[in-house]
Amino acid sequence: MVPRGNTNLFIEPDCEHNAQKNKGCASPKPGELTKGCAFQGSRAALLPISDAAHLVHGTPGCLENSRGMLEAGALGVPLSRFGFSTGLTEEDIVLGGEKKLIQAIDYIAESYNPPCLFVYATCITMLTMDNLDAICAEAEQKWNKPVIPVHHSGFFGSKNMGYRQAGEALFEKVIGTSELNEENKGLFNINLIGEYHFSGEGKEIEALLSRLGIRVVSRIAGQCSFQDLRCAHSAKVNMLVCSRSMITLARKMRESFGIPYFEGSFYGTREIRFSLQQLSFHFQDAQFDKRVQRYIRREEERVRKDIYLHYKSLQGKKVVLYTDGIESWAFISPLLELGIKIVGIGTNKNALEDLSRIMERTEQDTILVKESDENRILQLYREHKADLMIVSGRNAYVPLKEKLPFLDIDQERHGAYSGYMGLRRMAQDLVDVMEQPVWEMARRRSPWEGEPDEHHI
């Protein structure tokens, strides 16, 4: 069964590159590496809805493929940590898996009684033509609770397209179906919209905003409850946090509910200042604006003092960034604020928007290597005599094999580096890595290699 309306997701009016003639969000070509399928993207966006049940309609392999994402569930609410799957066999693929899907939905609804159940289509169930819409509609009437189909077969696109599919499901079936309590309504209510790294980062950002009297109604793609998402239309502003993957959802909420949106980041004082000033602009409140300006001045003065007193050793150090996605530009500002020189940036599979953000933030002599490989990055590192390599994901193996000092900006560390305290944590981690004696020890030649050392004669 072909998902309804999904073809238009490849053309997003609010994407920068769609303003160009004959341009749109690229769909993957046969055999092309996409670094995650659409199924993974949708699941990563929806799994943080911790009190909902998540059922994968496909083979056990699809469930195992995204098993690590189950950690996105909130502590103390274990339902999103369960890996529900219909577990289709070869016989089910031949004869159809609709019977198993109905049984699985009935079992989850009866045994766990979740407020909502998401049913994820996969490549197999798209090929078997199972009618997810009809089955979910019948189950919704039977159990009197939302049973939401999420159409995103793996071969439909990349992980980014999966996020858009998840946003479609939330917009059509969830957002706007409930109202906030009177005591929770206020002038300074916002939604935070992120990506897979947003589960930990959202808490840090919400704590920072709460000091200014800003209430986060929902963290879309971050830890939240199903009820929070139902009331997301009550917010005054939507903020896209370091990600444009759900920009379609933000645009549709603007058109349907009149909620403006902007893009911001909380990595580094410059980015925090811009994000808070944007919020102040949208709220149009003079007292709030004064409160924001006082808060920014106070926190920035404290950060500058701490950097001068405790992290002065970072001044003048050289680093090479070898990352993908938002990591390619999100950490540029905090590194420059710490006095670190970025001699080169290597990217792979980055969108045009990511590349433009890199150019906006870097210095003129920083070398940008698009579609870079391991050898080019190592050559750049050695030619400029860099002190450290900052990597993410699979790129961490490059400095590890070459015994080079490196800091891995993995998913768990995203949240730790956001906000004013995050800048201090990042500075401390950089100092710790550079001062580790293990790097000097790792570069020593063994006694049996080359000429014998005088200490071993």
For residue 162, being part of any structural domain is answered with yes
Pick the last residue of a domain from 173, 208, 228: 173
Residues 321 and 299 in one domain: no
Could you tell me if 320 and 382 are in contact, meaning their C-beta atoms sit under 8 angstroms apart?
Answer: no
Nearest-5° angle of CA 297, CA 301, CA 307? 145
Closest CA to 358 of 348, 397, 453: 348
Q: Domains in the chain: how many in total?
A: 3
Q: What is the CATH number of the domain that holds 212?
A: 3.40.50.12380
Range of the domain at 148: 6-21+34-173
Last residue of a domain, one of 253, 287, 306: 306
Q: What pLDDT does 122 receive?
A: 87
pLDDT in single tens digits along all 457 residues of the chain: 444 444 466 667 666 655 554 444 555 555 554 567 888 888 888 888 888 999 999 888 787 655 455 454 444 456 767 778 898 888 888 888 899 999 999 999 999 999 999 999 888 887 788 889 999 999 999 999 999 999 876 666 778 888 888 999 999 999 999 988 777 777 899 999 987 666 667 778 888 999 999 999 999 988 888 999 999 999 999 999 887 888 889 999 999 999 999 999 999 999 999 999 999 999 999 999 999 999 999 999 999 999 999 999 999 999 999 987 788 888 999 999 999 999 999 887 677 777 888 888 888 889 988 877 889 999 999 999 999 999 987 888 899 889 899 998 875 555 688 899 999 999 999 999 998 888 888 777 777 776 555 554 4
Are 302 and 376 contained in the same domain? no
What is the DSSP code string of 84-126? EE----HHHHHH-SHHHHHHHHHHHHHHH--S-EEEE--HHHH
| Residues 288, 341 within the same domain | no
Of 173, 191, 213, the residue at which a domain comes to its end is 173
Whether the Cβ atoms of residue 167 and residue 38 lie closer than 8 Å to each other: no
Instruction: Answer yes or no: do 317 and 353 share one domain.
Output: yes
Indicate whether 271 and 235 sit together in one domain: yes
What phi, psi does 47 have (nearest 5°)? -60, -35
Q: Is residue 452 part of a domain?
A: no
Residue 70 lies in a domain: yes
Structure tokens at 139: 């189950």
Query: Same domain, yes or no, for 413 and 302?
Result: no
**In terms of domains, do 323 and 298 share one?**
no
Does any domain span residue 262? yes
Q: Are residue 357 and residue 259 in the same domain, yes or no?
A: no
Is 450 inside a domain boundary? no
Distance of CA 398 to the CA centre of its chain: 23
Same structural domain for residues 225 and 295? yes
The pTM of this model reads 0.86
293, 322: one domain: no
Question: Can you tell me the distance from the alpha carbon of 248 to that of 164, in angstroms, rounded to the nearest whole number?
Answer: 7
Burial 158-189 (b: 16+ CB within 10 A, else e): bbbbbbbbbbbbbbebbbbeeebeeeeeeebb
Backbone angles phi, psi at 166, to 5 degrees: -65, -40
Rounded to an integer, what distance in angstroms lies between the CA atom of residue 274 and that of residue 270?
6
Task: Verify that 288 and 330 share a domain, yes or no.
Answer: no
pLDDT value of residue 74: 45
Long-range contacts of 355-360 (CB under 8 A, 24+ apart): 356/16, 357/329, 358/328, 358/329, 358/332
Cβ count within 10 A of residue 281 = 13
Judge whether 111 lies within some domain.
yes
Q: Is residue 408 part of a domain?
A: yes
Does 227 lie in the same domain as 193? Answer: yes
Structure tokens at 448: 């049996």
198-210 and 419-434 helices cross at what angle (nearest 10)?
130
Give me the CATH number covering residue 409.
3.40.50.1980
Helix, strand, coil fractions of the chain, as percent rounded to 5 = 50, 15, 35
In a domain, 456, yes or no: no
